[in-house]
Structure 1
Amino acid sequence: MAMKSLRRASLLLALPLLSGCATLAQLGIQAPQFSVDNSQQPQLRLVGPGFGHPQGGAALRLYARVRNPNPIGLTLARLAGGLQLEGRSAAQVDFPLGVPLQANGDVMVPLDITVNFNDIPGLADVILRAATGQSIRYALNGTVGVDAGVLGQPTFGPMNLLSGSARVTR
């Protein structure tokens, strides 16, 4: 008899949870929030001609501060989108990440992006600016996917993830 009452009470407690988790939106799950991590400077290096990039390229490391505004932990599973340099499309990115985000917490995530100059017409002035030590404006736009466990794997965006400027480091 006590076991039957316990099962009935468990079922009554679980019903609101089961009916309330139909979608992540109903639970108020929000997208992770991205910002430039000001404790690190973005690093831009010019890369000389070589195999796979006969006209050279650039290696850009950005440091993102990713905040989880949700009361539950998530995993930042993927970031996909495009990088612009001085307002021009420069590279496509697709990062499988697997970064755990604690509830209401934040973490620094380094993002390494390679720009291949022979694939990108119209970046001559960007190359010149970089070579002469001037700062280069960047913007990373895209979508992010999270893994919320049993609650699903939603994707958020497209949105502006990061923007700022970088100088060539030697």
Structure 2
Amino acid sequence: MRTAVRAAFLPLMAIALSGCAGMGLEQVLQAPTFQVDGRQQAQLRLLGPSLQNPLGGAAVRLYARVGNPNPVGLTLTRLVGQLQLSGNNAARVDFPLGVPLQAGGETVVPIEIAINFNDLPGLANVVRNAIGGQPINYALNGTVGVDAGLLGQPSFGPMTLLTGELRATR
């Protein structure tokens, strides 16, 4: 009996998937959702000058609550984009990831971003605000890639992934 059910199910699944092939995976699968994790504060740490960074730099840690709205499990494989601080481009982001996302589930993903002040003279106001303890607005924009197993490896974006405020920690 099971063999007969499988034999009937496999052609139906193939027809369903072939009908989806013309639509593109982005229309079959929904993009993972990104929200700021409200339980953990985004952080900015100022780094002093060093041989590699004569002007110093900063380390930004964001906490994203990533959700999978799909009825199948996915693996978040890549995040490529741009971090903006106070409206200024601060760093390119290109992370290979390997975060499993259960069907209908969500998980918190810490995102570490290094900023080199040698290349970014336009961030003087950000540094002043950080030193003064003022909040700094941020936006993380980009494209994400997922591995959906037999359904393929689609990318979603570009889109705004996270926005919020961060403060310097000492």
TM-score by length of structure 2 reads 0.90
Structure 1 residue aligned with 2:15 = 16
Identity percentage of aligned residues: 64
Amino acid at match of 1:63: Y
Which one has the largest radius of gyration? Answer: 1
Distance across 2 between alignment mates of 1:87 and 1:139 = 8
Q: What runs of 5+ residues in structure 2 fail to find an aligned partner?
A: none
Does residue 50 (structure 1) correspond to residue 61 (structure 2)? The answer is: no
- CA separation of 1:115 and 1:6: change in aligned 2, threshold 3 A: closer
Structure 2 residue aligned with 1:161 = 161
Distance across 1 between alignment mates of 2:6 and 2:163 = 54
Question: Residues 51-102 of structure 1: CA distance to partner in whole angstroms, max 9, x if unpaired?
Answer: 2211011101000000000000000000000000000000001010110000
Please state how far the C-alpha of 1:118 moved relative to its aligned partner. 1.0
Does residue 79 (structure 1) correspond to residue 79 (structure 2)? The answer is: yes
Where do 1:1-170 residues align within 5 Å? 9=8, 12-22=11-21, 23-25=24-26, 28-170=28-170
Please state how far the C-alpha of 1:132 moved relative to its aligned partner. 0.9
RMSD of aligned residue pairs (Cα, Å): 2.0
Q: What runs of 5+ residues in structure 1 fail to find an aligned partner?
A: none
TM-score by length of structure 1 reads 0.90
Further displaced range: 4-13 or 28-37: 4-13
Amino acid at match of 1:24: L
Amino acid at match of 1:159: M
- Number of residues of Structure 1 aligned to a counterpart in Structure 2: 167
- CA separation of 1:122 and 1:5: change in aligned 2, threshold 3 A: closer
Amino acid at match of 2:96: P
Whether the 8 Å contact between 1:21 and 1:151 is mirrored in structure 2 is no
Please state how far the C-alpha of 1:17 moved relative to its aligned partner. 3.5
- CA separation of 1:13 and 1:126: change in aligned 2, threshold 3 A: closer
- CA separation of 1:57 and 1:8: change in aligned 2, threshold 3 A: closer
Question: Residues 78-132 of structure 1: CA distance to partner in whole angstroms, max 9, x if unpaired?
Answer: 0000000000000001010110000000000000001111111211111111011
Distance across 2 between alignment mates of 1:137 and 1:155 = 27
